[in-house]
Amino acid sequence: MTGPSAENGSAMTPTPKAVEELANRIFKETRVPSFIHVNLDAVAHNVDVIRRLSGPNTELMGVVKGSAYGSGILPVVEVLLEKGAKELAVATMSEGIYLRKNDVTVPILVLGNLIEDEVVDILQYNLIPSLSWDKALRGFQKGDLCYPDGRRLQVTLNIDTGMSRYGVQPEDLAELVEFLDDLEVEIHSMYTHFQSSITEVNLNRKQLEKFLAATKPYEGRPFYRHAAATTGLVQGLGADLDFVRPGGAITGLCSGSDAEDAKQFESCGFRPALSVVTRPAFYKLLSAGRRIGYDGIYETTEPEWIVNLTTGWSDGCARKLSNQGAVKRIRTGEKCPIVGRVSMDSITIKLPDAPHSDEVFQLVTDDFDDTTSAIGVARRLGAAVYEITGNWSTRLPRVYTKGGEVVKVFRSLEYTN
Ligand SMILES: Cc1ncc(COP(=O)(O)O)c(C=O)c1O
**Each residue's pLDDT tens digit, 71-120:** 999 999 999 999 999 999 999 999 999 999 999 999 999 999 999 999 99
For strands 224-226 and 326-329, give the pairing: unpaired
- Residue 310 CA to residue 32 CA, distance in Å, equals 9
CB count in 10 Å sphere of residue 164: 9
- Residue 18 CA to residue 8 CA, distance in Å, equals 16
What pLDDT score does 236 carry?
Answer: 98
CB count in 10 Å sphere of residue 384: 17
Ligand 1 in contact with 193 (CB < 6 A)? Answer: yes
Indicate which atom in ligand 1 lies nearest the CA of residue 191: 1
Q: Based on the number of CB atoms within 10 Å of its own CB, is 327 exposed (0-12), middle (13-18) or buried (19 or more)?
A: buried
What pLDDT score does 8 carry?
Answer: 39
Residues near 381 by beta carbon (within 8 Å), at least 6 away in sequence: 318, 320, 321, 388
What pLDDT score does 384 carry?
Answer: 97
Q: Is the dihedral of CA 73, 74, 76, 80 positive or negative?
A: positive
Q: What is the pLDDT of residues 272-308, one digit of tens each?
A: 999 999 999 999 999 999 999 999 999 999 999 999 9
246 alpha carbon to ligand 1 midpoint, in Å? 6
Residue pLDDT tens, the chain, 417 long: 544 333 334 446 889 999 999 999 999 998 999 999 999 999 999 999 999 999 999 999 999 999 999 999 999 999 999 999 999 999 999 999 999 999 999 999 999 999 999 999 999 999 999 999 999 999 999 889 999 999 999 999 999 999 999 999 999 999 999 999 999 999 999 999 999 999 999 999 999 999 999 999 999 999 999 999 999 999 999 999 999 999 999 999 999 999 999 999 999 999 999 999 999 999 999 999 999 999 999 999 999 999 999 999 999 999 999 999 999 999 999 999 999 999 999 999 999 999 998 999 999 999 999 999 999 999 999 999 999 999 999 899 999 999 999 999 998 655 444
Ligand 1 in contact with 245 (CB < 6 A)? Answer: yes
What pLDDT score does 7 carry?
Answer: 38
Indicate which atom in ligand 1 lies nearest the CA of residue 130: 1
Strand partners, 304: 286
**pTM of the prediction?**
0.95
222 alpha carbon to ligand 1 midpoint, in Å? 24
